[in-house]
Amino acid sequence: MRYKILSKEQLIISFDRLTRFKPVKDKYFRVFTDIITSNLIEPKLKKSELIKLSPEIITNYAEEIINESLKSCSEKTKSKINLNETIKEYENSVFLNDKDTQAYLDNKIEYDYFIKLIDESCPLNLRWLKVISGGGNLKNLRSRHGLKYPVQKVLLVEGLTEEILLPAFSKYLGFDFYKEGIQVIGAGGKNQVVKMYYKMIEELKIPVFLLLDKDAEENIAQIKPKLRSIDKIHLVSCGEFEDLLPKSLIIKTVNNELNNFASINEEDLLDEVPEAKNLENIFKQKGLHEFKKADFAKLVRDNISEDSDISTEIAEIVMELSL
């Protein structure tokens, strides 16, 4: 067996992909086969050939390449825990894994070499590996270091506005998603929420909290027959998530963006018009750049500074999430 060694950067990318919040079989097969097709010289194997091989054989090829690469660019340190077993236990506590998946998780990758490569510039999932290598209760370590892992609950939302703003509102209210293990996933629309939830209940053991706009009653009707007892749905009481934002917060955000060039007041936010439409009109009238929900959500996030910035329903959503 002949192969090329992975560089330090390639190792970090590979381990990052292996430890993200993704279905285990999918991510391990993808990472391992990418390493094999890119680095294995002899025997030369194509992806179409790898599909026919057992997970055990694929794992054996990949772990040898990974381990030799680790030894070539790092020094071994001794973890206080067996990271292979800890990762396996964690993945099995979150995902419903079959026999083939267990074969991937039974790998003998030498994490004690990889720990030396992790620094503050690495993604959270990798920094989490370094923290837990020192031993201790995983949930206590998550709370102390705010590294989000182990993931304990999924928040499934329609779009980027909720994905950007809910963690910020929640943190202001004292419920930090990173400390509490909340994984936010934006589906890209109410129909996609349904499809994604159907997929999640086939893969996940942990609870899913679904947040949907007011016009999603039909979608909820599709979800309810399959809704697990551990899961919960919150339907926004009026319109879209943007309509839950206090008008004072919207005005503060827009006026800070206008930066004394112009200003708006409550009269510019018509009650009978959805806030997203109001904002689209305001941006046009004031000669601003095109209104985009995600960009505006980031501006709002930077302006959350006082209790009046949190509406009653947003506070209710955060409370329900925390239960």
Residue 89 contacts residue 22 (beta carbons within 8 Å): no
DSSP 236-295: -SSSSGGGGS-HHHHHHHHHHHHTTS----GGGS-TTS-HHHHHHHHHHHTT-SPP-HHH
Asked if residue 125 has pLDDT above 90, the reply is yes
What share of the chain has pLDDT > 70, as a percent? 100
Give 238-292 pLDDT, tens digit per residue: 999 999 999 999 999 999 988 878 899 999 999 999 999 999 999 999 888 899 9
CA distances in angstroms from 250 to 174, 239, 242, 282, listed in the order given: 22, 16, 9, 11
Give 187-212 pLDDT, tens digit per residue: 999 999 999 999 999 999 999 999 99
Q: What is the mean pLDDT of residues 63-90?
A: 97
Q: What is the mean pLDDT of the chain?
A: 97
Compute the distance between CA of residue 123 and CA of residue 49 in angstroms, rounded to an integer. Answer: 32
Q: What is the mean pLDDT of residues 1-13?
A: 97
Asked if residue 88 has pLDDT above 90, the reply is yes
Predicted local confidence at residue 261, as pLDDT: 82
Residue ranges covered by each domain of the chain: 2-145, 153-241+313-322, 242-311
Q: Which fold has domain 153-241+313-322?
A: Rossmann fold (3.40.50)
